[in-house]
Amino acid sequence: DAGVIQSPRHEVTEMGQEVTLRCKPISGHNSLFWYRQTMMRGLELLIYFNNNVPIDDSGMPEDRFSAKMPNASFSTLKIQPSEPRDSAVYFCASSPPSSPRQFFGPGTRLTVL
């Protein structure tokens, strides 16, 4: 049974480049969450979708960050342009209808040089 799938697992890029992180939620789940984890700030919720619609993006740090969910099985988090302070592990999580339990993906470790 496939869990939440994220790609790539590791990304190293240079400052100013565009970065796209991808997530495939568990089939049948209708909520999707993007988190960022750093040593300094811990786990932060960036944005979450319900039925493909962005519900709360108050955690998105600034306009350089954008997220989309074109269908129930795919979401992207884009950073353009990237900066060294964006270096972190980005997690995607999904949850089924009527349940607060979240299932996390393995994360994407992003390093911006």
Partner 1 sequence: GNSVTQMEGPVTLSEEAFLTINCTYTATGYPSLFWYVQYPGEGLQLLLKATKADDKGSNKGFEATYRKETTSFHLEKGSVQVSDSAVYFCALGPGGGNKLTFGTGTQLKVEL
Nearer Cβ to partner 1 (45/72) = 45
Among 15-23, 66-74, 77-85, 87-95, which window interacts with partner 1 (CB under 8 A)? Answer: 87-95
65 is a contact residue toward partner 1 (CB under 8 A): no
Phi, psi of 2 (to 5 degrees): -70, 140
28 is a contact residue toward partner 1 (CB under 8 A): no
Distance CA 51, CA 61 (A): 23
Cβ pair 59, 44 in contact under 8 A: yes
93 is a contact residue toward partner 1 (CB under 8 A): yes
Q: Which of 42, 63, 70, 71 is close enough to bind partner 1 by CB under 8 A? A: 42
Cβ pair 67, 20 in contact under 8 A: no
Cβ pair 29, 96 in contact under 8 A: yes
18 is a contact residue toward partner 1 (CB under 8 A): no
Distance CA 92, CA 9 (A): 12
Question: Which residues in this chain contact partner 1 in the complex, by CB under 8 A?
Answer: 4, 31, 33, 42-43, 45, 48, 50, 55-56, 91, 93, 95, 99-107
